[in-house]
Chain A
Amino acid sequence: MIPTTVAGIGEIVSYTTLHSAPEGFRSPLHIALVQLQGGARFVCHGAQTRRVRIGSLVAIEAVDNIYYFSSLNALDRARLFWGRAGRAGDRVNAMTRSVVRRLFKGGESGPN
């Protein structure tokens, strides 16, 4: 289970915890629909959904060709903002756009 690629940051469109997962999956199974910048949506697994809300920004990474989401803590966010130029800069722009969009929509949660 070694991360192979890092897809970056996405926004939670919706999420659920399935308590009777199908054969071959652990139960409970945390599933989220995540939107990347540019609008592409992915179904992702996660370790938990406790700190997740619709509209939350999450980190997305692929492990063994399966996408996983994990919530960003304050430290992650700070790193995203102040860390580096280059790729992180794109992410900061995405986050800013997302924040602006949410303010613009008057506090409605989620992209729906």
Chain B
Amino acid sequence: MEEVWVTGAGMTRIGRRSEPLPELMAEAALAALAMAGLERPEAIVVAAMNPEEFVGDGNFASNVASHMGFADVPTLRVETATSSGAAAFYTGFAEVASGLCSTVLVVGGEKMTHIATPRVSELIGRSIDPYERSYGATMPALAALITRALMARHGVGEREIAAVAVKNHAHAARNPLAHFPTPVSMDEVMASRMVSDPLRLLHCCPISDGAAAVVLSDTRGPVRVAGVGQGTDTLALRHRHDLTSFRATQTAARAAFTMAGFGPARVDFAELHDAFAPFELIALEDIGLVPPGKSGTITLDGETALDGRLPINPSGGLKARGHPLAATGLAQIVECVWQLVGRAEGRQLNARVALAHSIGGLATNNWVTLLEASR
């Protein structure tokens, strides 16, 4: 297997955007290509979860490639629900690692804010098991079942969950590309509207537009891809024995660490999939970044803040940077790369190893990616 390097990383501002989706994706892609000093990639991988419904366009790989003036570059599209960006990264990684290509552009994006919230919720909800959906279960409802079970354990209460949202908003306040660059207080989170008991509005990520892109190469660059792992689980929540951890995350982390040849102790900071604030606590333990049962205390103690021992979601996370579905897995990797090369202005960490964790659907198709600075 060839060594694979990230030579370029770029993304758009996340939030409510008026530009068409292919234009947002081109903006991110051109920024990544510019950083890589590359004019034309050998291949392109596109991630979009549902452009057919969200923007009404199909054949989206060709659509995006043509829009960027790369109609003659081999392009394909990858989809694993909300982790599509991470899956596209893996596909690009495999193309380079196998020796099939020497440079690959990976670009992901989604545009949703122009659609009414109930419709967006229904479209995202289609990734839920059809039987559970027939009972009116939405993503927030199933996430609430998980949260309730999590809170029945020792060490996770309303304050621990709210602390995740407060921290990630504080981080986003230092990120000019974030959807919500605004701090929120513990009281505001705990008084926000109940979405699906015990999940409140400020525990949930927003609906966002945006795009992110990276360039992968077989020639040495500033950041090396140390490991990529995928993990999967049953579509139906009722078929899982344990609600308070995600097998898909555990499997993905194990695979990524095995490929990298090191363990969680080497990770300096991480971007975790906090579509719902309690998911950050679950991921911390599933990946092995903190001991079982400790994620709540550690978060409340500030250890996962920017100035803490193990900063989590320096970008603001899905919660506050925003969650434009297929862009998210790549936006996490862009943040990791920018941190590793010293481009994370206003929130710069001193770090060498970064981890990105992306959840597809209700944790049915998850990814863990490990990146290492090559200084």
Contact = CB atoms under 8 A, between A and B. Distances in A.
B194 to A, nearest CB: 6
Contact of B140 (A18, A44, A109, A110): A18
A62 interface: no
B152 A112 contact: yes
Contacts of B115: none
Contacts of A20: 118, 121, 138, 140, 195
B118 A31 contact: no
Contacts of B267: none
Given A19-B194, A22-B138, A54-B152, A14 B145 contact: yes
Contacts of B375: none
Contacts of B122: 22-23
A31 B145 contact: yes
B149 A54 contact: yes
B244 A45 contact: no
Contacts of A22: 118, 121-122, 125, 136, 138
Contact of A16 (B153, B196, B239): B196
B239 A31 contact: no
A66 interface: yes
A44 B131 CA distance: 11
A81 interface: no
B197 A16 contact: yes
- The range of chain A's interface size is 20 to 34
Interface in B104-156: 118, 121-122, 125, 131-132, 135-138, 140-141, 144-146, 148-149, 152-153
A79 B346 CA distance: 66
B142 to A, nearest CB: 8
A109 B145 contact: no
B243 A112 contact: yes
Contacts of B199: 16
A24 B118 CA distance: 12
B149 A14 contact: yes
A78 B137 CA distance: 33
A33 interface: yes
A29 interface: yes
A43 B137 contact: yes
Nearest to B132: A43
A19 B196 contact: yes
Given A31-B136, A31-B137, A13 B149 contact: yes
B141 A33 contact: no
B253 to A, nearest CB: 21
B146 A14 contact: yes
Interface string A1-29: 00000000000011111111111110001
Contacts of A15: 145, 148
12 contacts: A14-B146, A16-B196, A21-B138, A22-B118, A31-B135, A31-B136, A33-B145, A43-B132, A44-B135, A108-B153, A112-B149, A112-B242
Given A16-B196, A44-B135, 20 more contacts: A14-B146, A14-B148, A16-B141, A16-B144, A16-B148, A16-B198, A18-B136, A18-B196, A19-B193, A19-B194, A20-B118, A20-B195, A22-B121, A23-B118, A23-B122, A31-B136, A33-B237, A41-B238, A43-B237, A54-B148
Interface of B: 118, 121-122, 125, 131-132, 135-138, 140-141, 144-146, 148-149, 152-153, 193-199, 237-239, 242-244
Interface of A: 13-25, 29, 31, 33, 41-45, 49, 54, 66, 108-110, 112
